[in-house]
């Protein structure tokens, strides 16, 4: 996985410690533990969590999921499954993102 710099790029001057933790710990140490859990599986889990929360970070992580090998069929199944646990409106919103990212 390429080195994450989003924290420093977006918040480095404003919240330097948070940016450091985001880039170096979350993405540098946790996401890199692929012997324990693959980046693809981490992407599925992260997208599921963000979908249930209804937060805007889902878009970025859905793009990462695609880069990590999560297929359109898998993301559609993830959203369909979670619709019953997290709510229909969140599923609709997630499908809108998935169509933009994965195409029709």
pLDDT at res. 4: 81
pLDDT tens digits, the chain, 104 residues: what are they?
567 888 999 999 999 999 999 999 998 999 999 999 999 999 999 999 999 999 999 999 999 999 999 999 999 999 999 999 999 999 999 999 999 999 97
Q: Is the pTM of this model over 0.75?
A: yes
- Quickly name the fold that domain 38-102 has: AhpD-like (1.20.1290)
Rg (CA), the chain: 14
pLDDT at res. 1: 57
pLDDT at res. 47: 98
Give the helix ranges, DSSP H, for 12-87. Answer: 16-20, 39-53, 57-67, 72-86
Domain range list for the chain: 1-32, 38-102
Query: On the CB side of 71, how many CA atoms lie within 13 Å of its CA?
Result: 3
Question: Tokens at residue 23, please?
Answer: 């880039």
pLDDT at res. 104: 73
Under 8 Å between Cβ of 41 and 78: no
Of 1, 46, 61, 58, the C-alpha closest to 27 is 1
Under 8 Å between Cβ of 23 and 30: no
Of 101, 59, 48, 18, the C-alpha closest to 6 is 18
């Amino acid at each position: 996985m390429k080195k994450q710099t989003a924290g420093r790029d977006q918040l480095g001057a404003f919240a330097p410690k948070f940016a450091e933790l985001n880039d170096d710990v979350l993405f540098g140490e946790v996401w890199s533990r692929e012997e324990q859990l693959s980046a693809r599986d981490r992407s599925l889990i992260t997208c599921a969590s963000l979908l249930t929360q209804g937060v805007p970070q889902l878009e970025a992580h859905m793009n990462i999921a695609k880069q990590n090998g999560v297929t359109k069929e898998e993301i559609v199944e993830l959203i369909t499954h979670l619709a019953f646990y997290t709510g229909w409106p969140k599923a609709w919103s997630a499908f809108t993102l998935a169509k933009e990212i994965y195409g029709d």
